[in-house]
Amino acid sequence: MSEPESASRLVEIGAQQHYDDAELYDYEYRRRRKDVRFYRSIAAELCGDGSSIVELACGSGRVTIGLLRGGHHVIGVDNSMQMLARARARIGKLGVAKRSRAHLVRADMRNFATSKRFPLVVMAFNSFEHLYTRGEVAECLSCVRNLLTPDGYFVFDVQNPNIHWLCRDPTKRWARIKFTHPTTGDKMEYSTNHVYDPISQIVLIRLYYARILGNGSKGPTRVVNLSQRKFFPAELEALLDANGFRVEQRFGDFDREPLHGDAENQVLVSRPVTQGR
């Protein structure tokens, strides 16, 4: 396998592998709540109570459940069977009224289509970073345009690239954390490192999970790959503009503070540009 082919294959694997263990995924992000509150509040502001929303890359349903609790009808779209199964299980624990407003669909966020139009499409938790090329960005934004009403909104978030983090030594491991696996009960150690390609702007992240044995030594290490495309602020605004969207609001966090150089996130509220607007 040539080097470009190998890198391409790693990107493909990294788009899926992190989501195979949905229970572990939920455990790792169990304290992540600010984005759920943000998407619930922005949905209430932009399209009112009881509206119908599409959530692309809905994953295990964290944001989906927040929107359902806000009184909305939600079509959750994801390409991972494991994540959708987890979302169905979580939604199944809600009351009848909330469950009845949820509809989960397995589909690619670049080409999901329906005859209906919606006032709001959301894409949470850096899912936009799984669009690795300009062509994939264009495909996804075309999909979003076709889902939205003429006056609808597309709201999403990505990370704000941190040059110091991207340039970390790829031979060292970071963030060594001990935890108990949520389903097996095994004692585990987590660590991570990554390689960043400044040309493609893709970072290949390696997540290491080592089981801690009874004598304190470590068993075999399982490596999970995660690939993300990094979007710099001016570049992201230009990509939206090139694909017929105008940025109406841009924040640096989920508390709606202004975007600045040290912000961890870019949270964007955008709308499709139509003639006469």
pLDDT digits (tens, 9 = 90+) for 175-218: 999 999 999 999 999 999 999 999 999 999 999 999 999 999 99
Write down the pTM of the prediction. Answer: 0.96
Query: Who's near 124: CB < 8 A, 6+ residues apart?
Result: 35, 39, 55, 57, 62, 63, 156, 157
Domain boundaries, the chain: 32-160+231-272, 163-229
For 145-178, write each residue's pLDDT tens digit: 999 999 999 999 999 999 999 999 999 999 999 9
**Mean residue pLDDT across the chain:** 95
Beta carbons of 91 and 97 less than 8 angstroms apart: no
- Does 46 score more than 90 pLDDT? yes
Q: Which fold has domain 32-160+231-272?
A: Rossmann fold (3.40.50)
pLDDT band, residue 5 (cuts 50/70/90) = low
For 215-235, write each residue's pLDDT tens digit: 999 999 999 999 999 999 999
Residue 154 phi, psi dihedral angles, 5° rounding: -115, 120
The distance of Cα 250 from the centroid of its chain, to the nearest Å, equals 17
Please report, rounded to a whole number, the percentage of residues in the chain having pLDDT higher than 70. Answer: 97
The number of beta carbons lying within 10 Å of the beta carbon of residue 216 is 7
State in Å, rounded, how far the first CA of the chain is from the last one: 50
Beta carbons of 88 and 118 less than 8 angstroms apart: no
In this predicted structure, what is the pLDDT of residue 49? 85
pLDDT band, residue 6 (cuts 50/70/90) = confident
In this predicted structure, what is the pLDDT of residue 1? 45
